[in-house]
Amino acid sequence: MYVPRHFVLPEEYATSLLDRPHVGNLITVHADGPAATLVPFYRDAERNALVTHLVRNNPQVREPITGRGMVIFDDVDAYVSPRWYATNEVKPNVPTWDYITLHVRGPVRIDSSPEAALQAARRLTELSEPDDVLTPIGEEKLERMARAIVAVEVGIEQVQGKAKMSQNRHPDDIRSLAAELARQGQDRMAEFLLEVSLPYAEQRYATLARLGEVHALREDVKDITDFH
């Protein structure tokens, strides 16, 4: 994934995203090409892996896998109209799309035992549901249902995050965009804009201003030197 320096996702945000159950695309490569399945994952810290379960008949877990797998977590995203930029009247711009995404690469391990499959499904439920909803079903039925699924792990070897969140815009644009997204109910995006994108933009524009002052000073010195 191409990630310009100003769009790198902060490590703490990536960690918080991995620490909670999240749906993502499991991508693997096979003899006939890539395959993908959208499934929920949770992170097993002890095994340093993302864990999920797939239907046993899914070709993605029946056919040999070539190389490492990838999980893509798409977090938040939104269309951005140039009308929402504070500076748009002075400097018209084009629309864009802001988003946060996370890619995890690593070896794929498949455990076809019903015990592993049930454990994967049970743990995901425990992390997602505060109440015990599985006990009333009964262990016999759960074990029978588990025969239809397999446990899948993706080892966490490489994590790459991208937050294309208007960091390259003027600070006034980020403030006005955050206000509009908050009005639309995109609270997490608005929060990221104000807590991450805005400080970055303010620092960037302060640096540009200082460079501009240095350039102007050099031009003044050059003019004086030329005069003498």
Distance of CA 42 to the CA centre of its chain: 14
Q: How far is CA 26 from CA 17, 102, 210, in A?
A: 16, 12, 46
Mean model confidence pLDDT for the chain: 91
Q: May I ask the CATH class of domain 5-164? A: mainly beta
Q: How far apart (Å, rounded) are the C-alpha atoms in residues 6 and 4? A: 6
* SS3 call for 51: strand
pLDDT by position in tens, the chain (length 228): 999 999 999 999 999 999 999 999 999 999 999 999 999 999 999 999 999 999 999 999 999 999 999 999 999 999 999 999 999 999 999 999 999 999 999 999 999 999 999 999 999 999 998 888 888 888 889 999 999 999 999 999 999 999 999 999 999 999 999 999 999 999 999 999 999 999 999 998 888 887 765 444 344 333 333 333
pTM for the complete prediction? 0.86
Domain boundaries in the chain? Answer: 5-164, 168-228
* Token couple for 185: 């109910």
| Nearest by Cα to 7 from 142, 215, 192, 225 | 192
